[in-house]
Chains A and B, each alone.
Chain A
Amino acid sequence: MQTCLVPDITREQAATDLDNAERAAARVQKQSRWLAWYSGTFAAGFAALTLMLGLVEPAWLRAVMSVVLWLPLVVGMVLWAGRRPTTARGAGRRVVPGWVGSGVLFTVALFVGVPTQQGNLAYWLPAAAVVALPLAVVAWREARR
């Protein structure tokens, strides 16, 4: 730390320096909020995929539609995320629980629903909402940052 030989600084200059730095930092912070869109889009994607796997008949159409939905979504979002100019501090740590939560709930929803609830809207609609919830919470929190 270098703390000697600093020039005198007035109250006004200190305030100006703080304001300028705050403005510049706010511009960068604004660009780091993309994670809210990213998480929200995947929350919606998980919900749509859950509904599709539970409701669409016949099985071949279900498989085709799932691939058509999920593959471009994942590829598109990964490419988009890779091009973002910045990432909020600690973003990975905050997002992982959402991914794990939605992933686990998705697996459980399919494990329980596919054998016994195929085509049952009363099961798959709430299941889709529950599956999307962890990532939706992450999206909401990131948007509020």
Chain B
Amino acid sequence: MTSTGHPRHLLDDLLTHGVRFSIVATLDGVDRAEFALVRDSVEISDSVLSKQVATLETVGYVDVDKGRVGRMPRTWLRLTDTGRAALAQHVAALQAIAGRSRQ
């Protein structure tokens, strides 16, 4: 990796997938979020979210907790510190490519 050259070199190749990027971005501002909320916010199906979360969990970007609220089973998603760092770098690279100033 180099800090010079085109900012695309700083992109995280896992997060260049738009759905994965959106999933990680939705988790950035919260401690954790329910599976169903992330699914509805990113506007994808259960199966697509499950598949992408499994990928993100494998590389350590997302933690998955399963539990119950009353008698209802719930799945919670949480962004890890590794995921948060990857997201920050990816967003910075996208902003540089898009010609936007960092917020």
Contact = CB atoms under 8 A, between A and B. Distances in A.
A31 B37 contact: yes
A6 B11 contact: yes
Contact of B34 (A5, A18, A86): A86
Contacts, number: 114
Contacts of A28: 26-27, 29-30, 33, 37-38, 41
B95 to A, nearest CB: 7
Contacts of B33: 28, 31, 85-86
B25 A22 contact: yes
B100 interface: yes
Interface of B: 1, 8-14, 16, 18, 21-34, 36-38, 40-43, 59, 69-70, 85-86, 89, 91, 94-95, 97-100
Interface of A: 1-11, 14-15, 17-18, 20-22, 24-25, 27-29, 31-32, 82-83, 85-92
